[in-house]
Structure 1
């Protein structure tokens, strides 16, 4: 079945504020898992509990079927949202230090730092202080810090935040490569187009609870179906009387209709043709962004 990271029913309360409500999901070996939700939904709290930085009030985090231990945590690569680099320390020295903390020998640490700084495009910055780097290069170094010890699990909090398109491509390639090596990769992001493009599965969080979790294709399949109809001769209101159909938008000749359960698209087509020529008639599933908006505002996914 392969090794996997399991988040099983974890809960967390801060006084009267419930941060997590029986949060449950798993990240499988070789899988890219996108963890999305509004600010304050519980993503960072979940990641901190998985790392052992926070204790949960209930539930369990498991790796390969066993509870996470301090030894296990040495094999996790973590990229915090509030970046944790020492600003006045030189890049190379800092990465070697972090690799040694995770158990690498001096020579192995040097080799790994050379490899990852080269791969992430910051090799020429190894002698610079972190504070002298651009924010994008600081991001690359922070990712290198999560990778230098050859982790068995990757947990990344907003790794794409603030990156330019070239750096996004570099980061994406690295994450896909690590997944191909069998590493479970979980990352949070507000850039839903990236999540939709990269991830094998996505979990949508709302108010500390996992509201939807599946492949992007399955989530989109479960969402609302829209029909795009371009009928130049149709008058406004031509689709108002159709059973199970709601007019989502109307802009000149183009009408976007929302199909309810059991609605017949062929009935819609006949009604459109009755108005004259139809130059476009296509079905469109909701994007991940639209699904996310529905879930976080309390609509159906």
Structure 2
């Protein structure tokens, strides 16, 4: 990794879907960023982005890499679409921001990691929840030992994705998305690793009860996983993508530790202490986490420093989600 000589970070984007639009909106708010190139297999999307933000449009990211002088690239494509876009960027010394999940197989993910390490490029994975102020504060408390021994962790990820059927989205096809565990609840499993260490044992159940008669919706309707963590904590993850739309969505966490019980999410942290001297502490935050993670990435690119969420973190979290899937397929504990 090397210090960027120019003060301006020249950015290209591969994939111009919904998540790319969020990053583009954020990047326009960051000084020293120049959006110079856009690539999408649907050329009209690339052309629209180029007309809106300036720069050049491409149908093939390989051509974009060859013709453009890029400092960084945002890779915002569906899981099934990953091929060699990371490897080629690394070979050209281009810093890589990649959305989750970084691949559908462990082998593909770790080949990305190897390529980026070989060429020494700055990388970051789009696990924006790690940057949320309440999560950062909880991480500090855990590392300082202020919560004592960690006991029970309980997390939920409840949402409604059934509307995606009307748009015939790739998300509904498990061979393309990896399913809810791999594509969506990856955020939950990543935070689990970030806060409580690496998994030691994994056991899971999956269920199909809403989409059982719908051949166009092949992802799991819900799952429950039990995971023993290296920190000593035992975690239970409960998730569904077919909650009633009138319910909305929920991504919440609970932790019972030796010295406190915590309730938290990306916006708040409530700590109920056993000590009578300090019975309750609360942290609240309303942040634009996409903008925050983009600022972090751009600063690291400018300084030639490793980001807080390098690409190997994406590979490790993918491995955990694949173990959750494997446990159900094998009906066995996976270590």
Decide: shared fold, TM above 0.5.
Answer: no
- Rg comparison, structure with higher value: 1
- TM-score, scaled relative to structure 2: 0.28
